[in-house]
Amino acid sequence: MKTCLWVGTYTCDVESGERRGTDGQGIYAFEFDDETQRARLCSIYEGCRNPSFLAVSGNMLYAVSEMAEGGCVTALRYDAGQGRFTYVNEMPIPGSAACHVLIWKEKNCLVITNYLSGSMVNHALLPDGSIGARNGFFQYEGRGEDPVRQEGPHAHSSILSPDGKTLFVADLGTDRLYHYRWDEASQGPVPCEACPETYVGPGEGPRHMCFSPDGRYLYLVTELKGNVFCYQYSSEDGHLTFVQKVPSLPASYTGFNLAADIHLSSDGRYLYVSERGADIISVFQVDRETGLLGTCRFQLCGGKSPRNFCLSPCGRYIVAANQDSGNLVIFRRNAQDGLLGEVVEEIRIPSPVCARMADRDSLP
């Protein structure tokens, strides 16, 4: 089996726009062969500045350009046979430092979050995959406990509930999750009437989220305090009920750390969190019935600052994008105990910050 692997990188400084000698060139496209366990570089798309987050739907990729000024979201079509990108179109993003993009497929909507300006933007997706007109903009207000990192709102990511009904936006600066539902009249998201937001806790810094496969539980990792929260999700009104909070780091670790990404295995048995500073992947056992997190084990990520990671579609591999060490590490994954096994491939890439995978045969 062959898998497409796309990697977004930082190409320049977010604030100044100046290039650095060690930074990436754009979006890297690889083909990973499950039999040989080797990745082959197919192409590099250099038309995006700081493509720090990617969303994939079929053969369409959407990349945000994380810039303090002049950011945009770009639509690309990928030809798996040729290993090449084709530019489709792009749209400017109101706000500053777009850091996440999500596809609300059922509603043909693109959801973008801006970190520096603390806002969420929506664009229509057209039938050919191109990005259409803006159909929503939400500016957040407030601040948090940390005077440096939470001096204002900092929207960091969004996620859609598996039932397709509720959109959640995590704001690191205000320690809140904002809840939205689709409004047919305006053809865009609007705040949930019954439960417009969830307060996470002072100084936590909500960052990324994932859902259990059955859609009953939402898991959140907080960047600043390094905790994992479990909430029970109500499909009826979008309400989140607190279930559990557990630390994502070893009790003995006292150094600098910023928690980053979070994912569940497809069977819902294991939850993974990446830690920048400790430079580990935390592996939790999950009780699929109660949603509770149990035993946690900690494994080295193979580099420095694992900003983002992904599980392969087959579930046999985990790919870690280690930003500060400039390497992409592909681990074999043990489905029985959830642990990372041997490194089967290591690829040198300047400033890798996002990794996405898809079965090559599933692409149009």
Domains observed in the chain: 92-362 (2.130.10.10)
Parallel, antiparallel, or unpaired for β 155-160 and 166-171? antiparallel
* Nearest residue to 179 (alpha-carbon basis) of 166, 162, 164: 166
Q: What is the pLDDT of residues 264-312, one digit of tens each?
A: 999 999 999 999 999 999 999 999 999 999 999 999 999 999 999 999 9
Average pLDDT over residues 119-135: 97
Q: Does pLDDT of 20 surpass 80? A: no
17 — pLDDT class (breaks 50, 70, 90)? confident
What is the structure's pLDDT at 18? 84
Residue type, 24: G
Over residues 55-66, the mean pLDDT reads 98
Residue-level pLDDT at 1: 87
Residue type present at position 310: C
**Which residue bears the tokens 């980053």?**
260
Residue 22 has pLDDT above 70, yes or no: no
| Number of residues that make up the chain | 364
Residue environment code for 255-288, b if the CB has 16+ CB neighbours within 10 A, otherwise e: eebbbbbbbbbeebbbbbbbbbbbbbbbbbebee
330 φ/ψ angles, rounded to the nearest 5 degrees: -105, 115
Q: What is the pLDDT of residue 21?
A: 62
State the average pLDDT over residues 168-193: 96
| Token representation of residue 239 | 């309400």
